[in-house]
Amino acid sequence: MFQDNTQDPVESQQQLERVKDWINSRHLDTLELTDVLANFPDISIALTEEIMDQLEKEGVLSKTGKETYTINREKTPWSEFNFVKDEADGKTASKDEKSIAPEEYMYMKALYHSLPMQYVTITKLHNMLDGEANQTKVRKLIDRMIQEGYVEDSSNRRLGKRVIHSVVTENKLNEVRKVLATNDDMVIFQTVEQILGRAF
């Protein structure tokens, strides 16, 4: 399975399982090699690349770019509606009927994707936002994260800017998840209602 003669096959298999478990626990559907390298600094680059190739062969991942992958998950009947947003007037309603400005909503989505990561880059965040914001806007979102203390200003050329993990960032991530989950639940309910209404 693994070509690296310096690695113990049992240890290589354990590393594969670690990476596989981590990938399956991610809330995002896309993944870059740098994500794995940042989260598993104890695994060599060569072994990480072999692990990614193996996971691709097993069908856990699908390669979408040079170092970009999509996580193959089992689809649930309503999964296609999870990210549908009601954008009738450019705002999304929250649980208590307050509107969120589009800029704030985009910033929350950027935080949602960025805060769990070890490092964030403009390209990576742009891909995670599925092109909802251009790279200039993504740069501004990252600059705002730096100003608010969620991301370090200095960066590593290969990995990007380091996300600061603290109680404050964890609380912010939980807050953002709640807001976005509330919005998703409302939209899913409305979408299901519309589908069922059309069916009968």
38 and 117 Cβ atoms separated by less than 8 Å: yes
Residue 49 belongs to domain spanning: 9-71
> Considering the domain boundaries, does residue 21 fall inside one?
yes
CATH of the domain at 38: 1.10.10.10
CA distance 61 to 64: 9
The 10s digit of each residue's pLDDT in 137-167 is 988 998 998 888 888 888 777 888 888 888 8
d(CA 175, CA 171): 6
Note the pLDDT tens digit of each residue in 95-117.
443 566 778 888 888 888 888 88
Residues 52 and 142 occupy one common structural domain: no
Q: Which residue has the tokens 């989505």?
A: 109
Same domain for 155 and 114: yes
Please tell me whether residue 152 adopts helix, strand or coil conformation: strand
pLDDT for res 99: 60
Question: How many other β-carbons are positioned within 10 Å of the β-carbon of residue 159?
Answer: 18
Number of domains in the chain: 2
Q: Do 94 and 190 belong together in one domain?
A: yes
Report the predicted TM-score, pTM, of the whole model to 2 decimal places.
0.47
Predicted pLDDT at 84:
43
Question: Closest Cα partner for 177 from 101, 116, 119, 89?
Answer: 116
Asked if residue 62 belongs to a domain, the reply is yes
Q: End of a domain among 71, 101, 123?
A: 71
Select from 32, 48, 71 the last residue of a domain: 71
